[in-house]
Structure 1
Amino acid sequence: MKQAVMNADEKELLPKSARKEIKAALTENGWVLLRNENYDVASFSQLMASLCQKLTYDPARENITQQSQKVDAGTHAVGLHIENGTTPLPPDIIAFFSALSASQGSQTTVCDGHLVWLNLPDSLKEKFSAPMTISRYLPKNIWQKYVAAALNIKMPEETTWNDLQRFAGMIPGQSISPAENGGIEYGLQVNMIRHDNLKGIPAFANTLLGP
């Protein structure tokens, strides 16, 4: 996890009032769409740095700038999910910038998880009140890169088993065991109904239907 700090001499992309409006819309609606702002990757990254105090990263993705990563998941539709929802450090806010938009047919679905929760029958509310356990194999270079980013270790390849154990102890619900080639068998309990959105209300938000 890296701290995002803007230099004092950087041009302010949005006045403070506009940033407050964006955060207010995110809190109330859960999403906001910025149109016709003439951003490029660099200026959009700076905007995100001005809105967010800390940044989290997906170790399997390529960094384009210090604040942004490339998303190239092919052309097939992806099921509803929260970003990095199978990791112990999912972001509070996720922002997408389209460097090259499709001429037709491109869509992003926005799902109101609170509305879904309100309409769930009591039997499903009770079922989803228990966490779901996700388990998988993680290669050595992947868990090293993730833990290094979380613990501010400059050289990911120097991340040790002790560092991994320390990270696992910092966030409840994680389990690790050694596997082949320095990898690990990793388990994580994730909540099916989450309350950690900006408004603090219950929402059906998870990766059950996702990739």
Structure 2
Amino acid sequence: MIQKAQFVVSNTNPGNCPKPDRAEVAFIGRSNVGKSSLINMLTGKNDLAKTSQKPGKTQLINHFMINDRWYLVDLPGYGFAKVNVKVKQGWENMISTYLTKRENLCGVFVLVDSRLEPQKIDLEFLLWCGTEGVPAALVFTKADKQSKTKTDQNIRKFLKKMEEIFEEAPDYFITSAENGQGKEQLTTFIEELVQEYESGEII
């Protein structure tokens, strides 16, 4: 479990990230998917990641040290509606460089809003991860915002799309930042990734 979480550094250049000397997991998703709220829920700190009603709040690569042992990274969202094209391209280059070049990255959690039907932008991003060999898992957010039936329906549709793209659907978690749903399963999975990395199984 996460006992200690502290902010380390924010930057726009993947080359300036902390030394890759320990396991690292990253969180990414479409703007306003509830990423900061989820990170705060997982770490038990309400203000660790800055939450905002306004999409595109995270514009930097934010590193947090967890339990003095591994890094949690909050990445800028993809699919911004209201930033100019040049800024958007800059962010996309930054994100893709980080995801493909960061050698200690052992897991990327792609956040998907469970209230929505499968979105093209999420599917395209996951296809890109698969093509580039980025180790991605799915986190469905905001599960408390509608009935369990509706959540399950949307998730089933999304996983079916994933099976059409890949031979099998990736690992996935159903979460709610409001009521803590999925916290235990997700932190256990991250702990396993960190242990695998530390035991040298992931090169």
More helix by share: 2
Q: Which has the larger radius of gyration?
A: 1
More strand by share: 2
Q: TM-score, with normalisation over the residues of structure 2?
A: 0.27
Q: TM-score, with normalisation over the residues of structure 1?
A: 0.26
